[in-house]
């Protein structure tokens, strides 16, 4: 099993794997120009991630898709290799790397055939606790981050509600302070990994909306135990990614100690925004990875499948759409690299992060659809895996923000057009 030893903030070596070179060149992220190719360090990460994922091939994920069993052994392997803390500082057990490296890692995981099932198993570890890292106290960071990095603790992300959707400022889940605790009542929906989670990053209203000066005020962020005696977790039967559960949560009297509140009361919405751009970059990267593995399978099948005494890939009607998929995926990848680079430089990346999610989801979906069509009737069979890729890549088109909201964001923030909703 590959493991990571950090030598400096952005340099590391891999043990127990002679094929991966020792990387000892430290660099200052602030001085790095944008590049169109992976650095030697980044390429080593990609190769090491592939090795970590190698025991978990398509058949493994097909079986998990059939049974719905959480991929605990995969999760444990990724934790043991050190990948869960790739973007967490070394002081808290992580690798101290950037969103660029995290995105390349998640893209690689998806491209091994793990798809969204593999990525979603530990997605929250990569970006979810950024509000804790940025706005938490030192005591909270030392209490919360190392167990998450080691894989000892699994977490879930409790924001979305059934009656508010993307209108986060209208959340209804209520947290009322009573002495040194908050008591919470409300509902959440589409909460991934809640069946196996130990902790929940919860956004709840601590001040009634009518008493707030701004619609973005009055929400508070908590990172606390997922107390199943106070939270009923109901599994949602869904289209794809069955191995990683999605759930409705019914919260009835959950007690949260004040020391589990992140930052100031009423500022939770601002805190949660801090993780949204990295999340969009990672979702886009994952969709690109799924598109890449689908395209590889389609191209291989087009070379092997013979109809009318010639490979079907010899026909332009087959090869031209696949070529277009490659170009679309590469363009999305370049946008992903730009967005991640901007974030790691501490620069505004809202437009690029949203564009990454949009372009990655579209390119991934188109590649998966084309892979099924290239396989013909066999593309509909689960044993060829491409139909699973299509079901899973649909997530990136829908969540965590819709295509239409991204288009509106670009229209307003980049093009200066009036708000349309």
User: How far, CA to CA in Å, does 328 sit from each of 32, 118, 184, 314?
Assistant: 27, 23, 45, 21
pLDDT in tens, 56-67: 999 999 999 999
Residue 403 sits in the same domain as residue 285: yes
Q: How many domains does the chain have?
A: 3
What does the pLDDT read at residue 4? Answer: 44
Q: What is the mean pLDDT of residues 239-266?
A: 98
**Whole domain around residue 289: which residue ranges?**
273-414
- Between 172 and 33, the more confident residue is 172
pLDDT at 3 over 70: no
Tally the C-alpha atoms within 13 A of residue 79's C-alpha that lie toward its C-beta: 19
What does the pLDDT read at residue 230? Answer: 98
Residue 8 sits in the same domain as residue 145: yes
Q: Token match 């960071």: residue?
A: 141
Domain boundary among 150, 176, 195: 150
Domain assignment of residue 419, yes or no: no
Domain assignment of residue 397, yes or no: yes
Domain assignment of residue 165, yes or no: yes
Residue 215 pLDDT level (bands cut at 50, 70, 90): confident
What does the pLDDT read at residue 37? Answer: 85
Domain boundary among 107, 125, 150: 150
What does the pLDDT read at residue 107? Answer: 98
What does the pLDDT read at residue 21? Answer: 34
Residue 261 pLDDT level (bands cut at 50, 70, 90): very high
pLDDT in tens, 45-57: 999 999 999 999 9
- Between 169 and 17, the more confident residue is 169
Residue 160 sits in the same domain as residue 248: yes
Least trusted range by pLDDT, from 6-20, 111-125, 128-142, 168-182: 6-20
Residue 190 sits in the same domain as residue 220: yes
Residue 220 sits in the same domain as residue 337: no
User: How far, CA to CA in Å, does 297 sit from each of 49, 215, 303, 324?
Assistant: 20, 48, 10, 15
Q: What is the mean pLDDT of residues 160-168?
A: 88
Residue 126 sits in the same domain as residue 18: yes
- Between 261 and 165, the more confident residue is 261
- Between 256 and 127, the more confident residue is 256
Residue 87 sits in the same domain as residue 166: no
User: How far, CA to CA in Å, does 228 sit from each of 37, 144, 194, 250, 252?
Assistant: 46, 19, 10, 10, 10
Distance CA 167, CA 341 (A): 29
pLDDT at 10 over 60: no
pLDDT at 13 over 80: no
Residue 346 sits in the same domain as residue 308: yes
Residue 135 sits in the same domain as residue 18: yes
Q: Is the distance from CB of 16 to CB of 92 less than 8 angstroms?
A: no
For residue 167, how many other CB atoms are within 10 A of its CB? 10
Domain assignment of residue 421, yes or no: no
Joined tokens for residue 93: 């057990």
Residue 166 pLDDT level (bands cut at 50, 70, 90): confident
Start-to-end Cα distance in the chain: 51
- CATH code of residue 339: 1.20.140.10
What does the pLDDT read at residue 9? Answer: 34
**Which residues touch 128 (CB under 8 Å, ≥6 apart)?**
155, 157, 201, 275
- CATH code of residue 31: 1.10.540.10
Residue 184 pLDDT level (bands cut at 50, 70, 90): very high
Q: What is the mean pLDDT of residues 87-103?
A: 96
Residue 301 sits in the same domain as residue 378: yes
**pLDDT above 70 as % of the chain:** 92
pTM: 0.92
Question: What does the buried/exposed string (b/e) look like for 106-143 if buried means 16 or more CB atoms within 10 Å of the residue's CB?
Answer: bbbbbbbbbbbbbbbbbbbbbbbbbbbbebbeeebbeb
Residue 248 sits in the same domain as residue 319: no
């Amino acid at each position: 099993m590959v493991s990571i030893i950090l030598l400096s903030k952005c340099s590391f070596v891999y043990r127990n794997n002679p094929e991966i070179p020792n990387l000892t060149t430290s660099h200052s992220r602030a001085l790095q120009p944008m590049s169109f190719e992976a650095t030697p360090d980044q390429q080593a990460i990609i190769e090491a991630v592939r090795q970590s994922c190698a025991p978990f091939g398509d058949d493994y994920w097909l079986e998990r898709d059939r049974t719905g069993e959480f991929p605990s052994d995969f999760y444990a392997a990724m934790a043991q290799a050190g990948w869960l803390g790739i973007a967490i500082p070394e002081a808290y057990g992580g690798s101290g790397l950037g969103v660029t490296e995290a995105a390349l890692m998640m893209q690689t995981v998806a491209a091994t055939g793990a798809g969204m099932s593999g990525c979603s198993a530990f997605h929250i570890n990569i970006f979810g606790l950024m509000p804790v890292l940025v706005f938490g106290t030192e005591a909270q960071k030392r209490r919360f981050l190392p167990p998450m990095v080691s894989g000892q603790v699994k977490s879930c992300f409790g924001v979305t509600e059934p009656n508010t959707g993307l209108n986060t400022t209208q959340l209804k889940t209520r947290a009322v302070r009573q002495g040194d605790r908050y008591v919470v009542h409300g509902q959440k929906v589409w909460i991934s990994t809640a069946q196996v989670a130990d902790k929940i990053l919860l956004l709840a209203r601590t001040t009634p909306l009518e008493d707030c000066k701004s619609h973005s005020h009055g929400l508070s962020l908590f990172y606390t135990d997922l107390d199943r005696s106070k939270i009923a977790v109901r599994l949602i039967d869904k289209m794809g990614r069955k191995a990683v559960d999605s759930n409705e949560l019914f919260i009835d009297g959950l007690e949260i100690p004040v020391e589990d509140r992140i930052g100031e009361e009423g500022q939770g919405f601002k805190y949660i925004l801090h993780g949204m751009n990295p999340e969009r970059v990672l979702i886009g990267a994952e969709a690109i990875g799924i598109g890449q593995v689908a395209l590889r399978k389609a191209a291989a099948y087009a070379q092997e499948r013979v109809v009318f005494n010639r490979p079907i890939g010899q026909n332009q009607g087959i090869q031209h759409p696949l070529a277009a998929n490659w170009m679309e995926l590469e363009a999305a990848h370049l946008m992903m690299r730009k967005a991640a680079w901007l974030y790691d430089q501490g620069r505004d990346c809202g437009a690029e992060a949203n564009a990454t999610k949009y372009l990655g989801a579209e390119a991934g979906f188109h590649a998966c659809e084309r892979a099924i069509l290239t396989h013909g009737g066999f593309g509909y069979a689960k044993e060829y895996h491409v139909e699973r890729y299509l079901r899973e890549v649909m997530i990136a088109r829908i969540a965590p923000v819709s295509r239409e909201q991204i288009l509106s964001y670009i229209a307003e923030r980049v093009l200066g057009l009036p708000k349309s909703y």
